[in-house]
Structure 1
């Protein structure tokens, strides 16, 4: 195999695939990226057995061939080469890959491509396309609430399904970690109405989100009960889905919260951030004291001291005190696009519903804390 490829093109493809490769692997071949050169392009493939990414880019292929190369080592080499340089890759004896650029020369040990695991997609009967901006919105407004608790593996992803609503079927993305919940929806894309409810793993969500930033147009999605495939220009992500049942999240979204607080989202976020400086690292709790058109934020830490801040707010219900985890609250406020955020409350122990005046299709639930 002998290939010449422009450094920036190779770096871009490697950046797409190498992040799938775990830094520590008990299976040596999984530390490698499969490099296939044929025609006028090269295809790079990386996998961790749960997710696989294939990225294609143009190249001058002198001799076709394939091998597997240590992913992170090759990425670091190419990243440090001069911008705009031409990179020559030559496979020698099937075991060594020589990388040349200008006066730089590297020799890397390779592993036989026959050992490289190929993910079997199986049949993917459900197929539809969704605009990259719409998919980005679904991911961004939900993924911060994905649980990282491995014992509750069925919460370690975004639940994507078609929900029946008063306005008809809607494509809905939901994530929760038990402390907060994010729900965001949109019109059902053509061809998606019959999809099963699926849980897309956190790592897959992160990889898809990275590719969206460099892509315009429609993302092609194909899925079954167990696997999903996202197709971009030149890049394809195939992933296993989480084998579990997502809980009935509708039961934790309160319907009768009768106390409403409206205020400037940016001012609230800045004030919460300021007073939480005093709160202990374990709880990060902030107390909300609500009275007529006044919100008082306060933190009382035995170790650090106290902090209070008063804010003007639209609130006319009975006075009440309620506590929130400041980090969780700030994560939600960061997703609000409009100037005003609406909090619907019931009492100090009931979940609070937060919504956006601009994006009515997004809704958030936050569990209170004892303060």
Structure 2
């Protein structure tokens, strides 16, 4: 096996596949990256049973072949390689990497012990790569981190007609984001839609790394063991093992009948929350007092150690309303919005609050949690107001 490749292309390919390397594993071969050279192409693959990453790049192939090398070591080598062409060759059980007069030798891992990579799920359609990465980032902040509740660590992906819906919840917040996508053929589901629960951390990493691909092809393959999700673009492919289960439906949670409605500048509110929360203890909330005089007063801290700031805000449906939130959760929600102004539907202390961007309304033609033909917004974030006000 022998191939030549530019240093930048080689480093990017190894870095992409290296995303699938486990931090720790009792199976040594899973710490390896599989390199395959054939007919002017180099394929680099990584796999840890939960996610498989594969990328193809152009390379000048001198001799076709495959080799399994220690992944972390190859990543370290790529970081220090000088610019210019890189020559790689397999000589017996030794793999060499040479560039600019510098040569690295590596021992190899047993190729025959490396597990077979999962096959690519059939593509259901395509989505704009940048929009997809943005949408995943907006909902993934609401996913749980507690591995004892695996269902809550996922992002639920729903494909229905020409609409893709992403949602995530950790019981204290619930984020939902809709975006357009282009289906390819009929979705094999009796209801005309398909749902899958994808690990949030894996999906976020994959979506961000594919953000510059232009278009991402999405495929799903359901099975009793959770199934697989595939994401592919510009020669890069990631296959992720799905979680079993489904998030609770959000339709009734997002019903805010009788709520007071406040409108405020999103950036100004975000900056104000960031300022006043400096004095907040770990479990201390940020309080927001909306009043009919066209302002909202933010307050955090206790006793003499307090911070306040007043902002313009428009309140309707009540003369005044007070709510308080975990500052980290509130900032996560605010930072996820792109709209210049924010709408807050407020039920009061200790109850739900629904955040949405103004001017983001659309007509939903699907059969989602809100029913067919409902007027919805593309991005919403539900938070629980704490019962104890500052």
Q: What is the TM-score when the length of structure 2 is the normalising length? A: 0.87
SS at match of 1:365: strand
Aligned partner of 1:351 in structure 2 is 352
Matched, 1:368 2:385: yes
Task: Give the alignment of 1:122-271 within 5 angstroms.
Answer: 124=121, 127-162=124-159, 170-187=163-180, 189-191=182-184, 194-216=192-214, 218-225=215-222, 226-271=227-272
Aligned-residue Cα RMSD (Å) equals: 2.0
SS at match of 1:213: coil
| Post-superposition CA distance 1:330-360 (Å, at most 9, x none) | 1111122222111010111211011101333
Contact 1:126 1:195 in 2 (8 A): no
The structure 1 segments of at least 4 consecutive aligned residues displaced by more than 4 Å after TM superposition are none
Offset at residue 300 of structure 1 (A): 2.1
Q: Distance in 2 between matches of 1:220 and 1:270?
A: 37
Deviations 1:189-220 (A, max 9, x none): 3236534211011233123223223311x222
Partner of 2:3: 3
Instruction: Give matches, 1:91-102, under 5 Å.
Output: 91-93=90-92, 95-102=93-100
Quote the residue 1:114 is aligned against: 112
Q: CA deviation at 1:284?
A: 4.6
- Provide structure 1 residue ranges, at least 5 long, that are not aligned to the other structure: none
Q: Is the 8 A contact 2:123 2:217 kept in 1?
A: no
Secondary structure, counterpart of 1:197 in structure 2 = strand
Q: Deviations over 1:305-344 (max 9, x none)?
A: 1111111211242322211011111111112222211101
User: CA offsets per residue over residues 233-291 of structure 1, 9 Å max, x none?
Assistant: 211111111112322232322331421111111111111100000001x2251011121
1:267 & 1:257 partners in 2: Cα distance?
A: 27
TM-score by length of 1: 0.91
Q: Partners in 2 of 1:58 and 1:352 — Cα distance? A: 51
* Partner SS state of residue 142, structure 1: helix
**1:87, 1:12 → 2: CA distance?**
13
Shift of 1:103: 2.0
> Structure 1 186/103 Cα, relative in aligned 2: closer, same or farther at 3 Å?
closer
| C-alpha distance in 2 between matches for 1:227 and 1:333 | 32
Distance change >3 Å, CA 63–CA 184, structure 1 → 2:
same
| Cα distance change on mapping 1:114 and 1:245 into 2, 3 Å | same
Kindly report which structure 2 residues correspond to 1:75-94, keeping only aligned pairs within 5 A, or say none: 75-83=75-83, 85-93=84-92
**C-alpha distance in structure 1 between counterparts of 2:339 and 2:330, whole Å:** 16
In structure 2, the gaps of 5 or more residues are 361-376
Partner of 2:365: none
Give 1:187 deviation, angstroms: 4.0
